[in-house]
Amino acid sequence: MSALRPVVKPKIVKKRTKKFIRHQSDRYVKIKCNWRKPRGIDNRARRRFKGQILMPNIGYGSNRKMKHMLPTGFKKFLVHNVKELEVLMMSNKSYCAEIAHNVSSKKLFRLLLITRQISFALKQIILLI
């Protein structure tokens, strides 16, 4: 059985791969790197002075066709039961199923059997011991 492949697998282009960092997080240990919008009235970063940190804005958004796309070329869809998996059967060339974390082991086993029968792509590989 060969692995299921998407209809189209375009090259995913990210406009920015580096994370946006918090202003002065490089200067003080007490300030974490996690992004926070600068709000001070005299803040250089907020006023967009040359040489300061960049702030996220709408221009960094992904291409609409590539948005939410996994490196495999599929888009993921969260599945809780067999009925939701059957909905995806029509679009199995563009979506892959991701089994929700709170699915019981009994339902999980049924979902895995069905995905194997219809050769449907799963996002995560589940090891059952």
pLDDT tens for each residue of 3-41: 678 877 888 888 899 999 999 999 999 999 999 999 999
Would you state the pLDDT for residue 48? 97
At residue 127, does pLDDT exceed 70? Answer: no
Assess whether pLDDT exceeds 80 at residue 121: no
Q: What angle do CA 94, 100, 103 make, to 5 degrees?
A: 135
* Residue 29 pLDDT: 97
pLDDT band at residue 129 under the 50/70/90 scheme: very low
Distance of alpha carbon 95 from alpha carbon 42, whole angstroms:
47
Is the pLDDT assigned to residue 115 strictly greater than 90?
no
What is the domain partition of the chain in residue ranges? Answer: 12-62, 68-129
SS (HEC) of the chain: CCCCCCCCCCCCCCCCCCCCCCCCCCCCCCCCCCCCCCCCCCCCCCCCCCCCCCCCCHHHCCCCCCCCECCCCCEEEEECCHHHHHHHHHHCCCEEEEECCCCCHHHHHHHHHHHHHCCCCECCCCCCC
Residue pLDDT, tens place only, 57-94:
999 998 898 899 988 888 989 999 999 988 888 888 88
**pLDDT number for residue 2:** 57
| pTM score, whole prediction | 0.70
